[in-house]
Structures are given as C-alpha cells and as structure tokens.
Amino acid sequence: MTDLTTLEAELSASIAGAADAAAIEAIRVAALGKSGSISGLLKTLGSMSPDERREAGPAINGLRDRVAALLADRKAALEAAELDARLAAETLDLTLPAPPRRKGSVHPTMQVMEEMTTIFAEMGFQVAEGPDIEDDFHNFTALNFPEKHPAREMHDTFFFNPGLDGVRKLLRTHTSPVQVRAMQRTNQPPAAPWIAGAIEPPIRIIVPGRTYRCDSDATHTPMFHQMEGLVIDKGIHMGHLKWTLETFIARFFEVAGVVSRFRPHHFPFTEPSAEMDIGCDRSGGEVKIGTGDDWLEILGCGMVHPNVLRQCGIDPDVYQGFAFGLGIDRLGMLKYGMPDLRDMFESDTRWLSHYGFSAFAAPNPATGLS
Ligand code: DAH
C-alpha cells in the first residue's frame, strides 16, 4: 500500500510539474501505457489470491482512475494556457492600413468615346448604333462604292463565308454604314399608321463603335474604334462642317481654338470629300494641338453624296448633309500620349492601370469632361 501511495505522490508531482503536452504524454505512457508502472501493477492482480485481490483491486484501479483524471486536468489546463498565450501574442492592430485592393480602370478608348459623345451631345447630336457584322449593301453599295471598285479591297475587309442564303457578310470596315441605316430609318413611315408620310430629317447623329480591317502595325490594329458623324437638313453646307469639327477639336483637346485646313480627297460617299488637318506644334518632341504652324491629319469628311441620299430615299434637291469619320483610338493616343496603338488591346494590366481612368472621372453632359 505504501508503494501505491508513494507512486501516486510521485506521479501527482510530475503531472503538476509537466510543462507541456509532450511531457504529459510521456508521463501517461510511463504510468498507463502497455508497460507502464500502473499497468504493471494491474497485471499482478491475476496472480493474487481472491482475498488479496479484493483489497488490492480497488486500490490499484482507484489509483489508475485518479492518475488518468489528473493527466486529463493538467492537459486541459496546459491547452488553455497555450491558447491564452497565443491570443495575447497574436493581437490584431486594427489601426494598420488595409492591404491595397485590386481595382479596375476605365479603358482609355472608352473614356475618349465618352468625352467625344459628351461634346457632340452638347451640340445636339444623338448616338446611333449599327451591327458589327454588316452586309455588302450597307458597308459599300449604299455608300456609292461601285461594284468591283478597288476601294472595296483597299479596306482590307474581313469577309465571312457565304451563308446558306448565298449572302456574304463581313465585319464592317467603318462606321459609315450606320449613316445608311439611320437615313433609311428616317424615311420609314411612322409606327402610328394614322399619321401619314415618312419621318423627315433633320438628322444629327454620331456613331461610336468598333470597326475591323485586316491590318496590324504600330498605328493599325485589326479591330479599332471610329466615330461617324452625320448631319442632314435643308441648307447644310461646308461651313457647318468646318464649325462643328473645329469646335469639337478645340473642346476635345481643351484648347481655346484650333485652325484647320481641308485637303481635297476621295471618299465614294461624299462629294466634295476632304481630309481635315489641324494646326499643331511638334517642336518639343510631342504634338501640341492649338498652337504652332505644323499640320496634323485628323479625320476624313465631306458633303454627303447625292447618290447616297437617293439610295436612302432622301431627295438631294431638298436636303443636304455633311459627314465625317474620326479614329477614336488615334485621338486618344494624341490626347493622352500613348505611343503604340497595339498596346491598347493587349490587355496588359500594367498598361491598363497606368493609362486607365477612374470610374469617377467619367465625363457626361452634366459634369463636362473629366
Ligand atoms: N469611312 C471613312 C474611313 O473609314 C472615314 C470617313 C471619311 C467617314 C469621310 C465619313 C466621311 O463620314 O465623310 O476611312
């Protein structure tokens, strides 16, 4: 019995002194494991006489239960202490700045498109849209491109294989087909059949959108963006065209005014046709708009060809119009100093976060440009 008392005292002392879970486990194995001290004592019960066993059995079993309970208590106490220590050591400093969150930006082309739309909207233009997948009629024929004319090939057109109906569709090479769609719509009888006749011009539209040509270098990409402009009314002349474009360019580049010159050019859908240059200064290695005595080609334009008006059911003896086509990406490159057009559509997030705009800087007719 004295042995049991001593053993219990020793085990209690070492359990109380155990510093961690590993020490507790070592004591458990040494006492209660297969060849542990208490397990050894339990084994002796088998060889005892019934009288001895009646006395020793409860004593040894009692010892085993008490030691097991001490081990469990100490283990729980150690775990609780460990958790307290971790909680104390791992406090969160809520005053630390949060790690930066990835945020997207507005693509420069979209920003520039919004800026341009805002300016034209203030001048009374509406936005019109048309399909990217066009047919020959809208992209070429109705725009007065003669059948088999080399200009059709000049556009480096992406053609689709003819469909089951034998019609060959294409990706529009310019936004000009939307001129045709808008004029044709104007000449539709109104939806309400009791009002006689077609809806008459005036038309004042801009058409921002994607255009496609099989071409790729520093200033050309197979997909790019254009903005078409079209005005149809009575008594429209080149003076209106010149004022509209000069006013737009000055507003867009945020300068007091620009000078322009019109060089004769050829587009099948305008007569006369011109390319518009604006005065600029190239002396500092960058192009400055609004000053200087150099010229920068900026867009194509002209007076809508009578054949185009006729194709769309508008009488050229009553109505005249002007049209223009601008490269949106190109204007953006000029305004924001982006050197290579191809970068704009690479989806490189470094480029996008450098040149992109905050969504809060979106221009609109109420707040003006950014
Ligand atoms: N569609 C022409 C192009 O992509 C640009 C253009 C020139 C549009 C003159 C016009 C215009 O409306 O009048 O090259």
CATH of domain 108-355: 3.30.930.10
Instruction: Give the model's confidence band at 195: pLDDT under 50 very low, under 70 low, under 90 confident, else very high.
Output: low
| Cα dihedral: 331, 336, 342, 344 (round 10) | -100
Ligand 1, CB cutoff 6 Å, lining residues? 174, 176, 228, 267, 270, 300-302, 323-325
Instruction: Give the model's confidence band at 271: pLDDT under 50 very low, under 70 low, under 90 confident, else very high.
Output: very high
- The partner residues of 206 in beta bridges, in order of sequence, read 127, 229
Ligand 1 nearest atom to the CA of residue 229, by list position: 12
**If you measure from the C-alpha of residue 202 to the centroid of ligand 1, how many angstroms do you get, rounded to a whole number?**
20
**If you measure from the C-alpha of residue 229 to the centroid of ligand 1, how many angstroms do you get, rounded to a whole number?**
9
Nearest residue (by CA) to ligand 1, atom 5, is 325
**If you measure from the C-alpha of residue 102 to the centroid of ligand 1, how many angstroms do you get, rounded to a whole number?**
40
pLDDT tens column, 55-102: 899 999 999 999 999 999 999 999 999 999 999 899 888 899 988 888
Q: pLDDT value at position 370?
A: 60
pLDDT tens column, 94-104: 899 988 888 88
Instruction: Give the model's confidence band at 2: pLDDT under 50 very low, under 70 low, under 90 confident, else very high.
Output: low
Ligand 1 nearest atom to the CA of residue 228, by list position: 12
Q: Where are the domains of the chain?
A: 2-89, 108-355
Nearest residue (by CA) to ligand 1, atom 13, is 301
**If you measure from the C-alpha of residue 103 to the centroid of ligand 1, how many angstroms do you get, rounded to a whole number?**
37
Mean pLDDT rounded to a whole number for the chain = 91
| pTM for the structure as a whole | 0.73
Nearest residue (by CA) to ligand 1, atom 7, is 300
The tokens for 14 are 């070492």
**If you measure from the C-alpha of residue 123 to the centroid of ligand 1, how many angstroms do you get, rounded to a whole number?**
20
Ligand 1 nearest atom to the CA of residue 304, by list position: 13
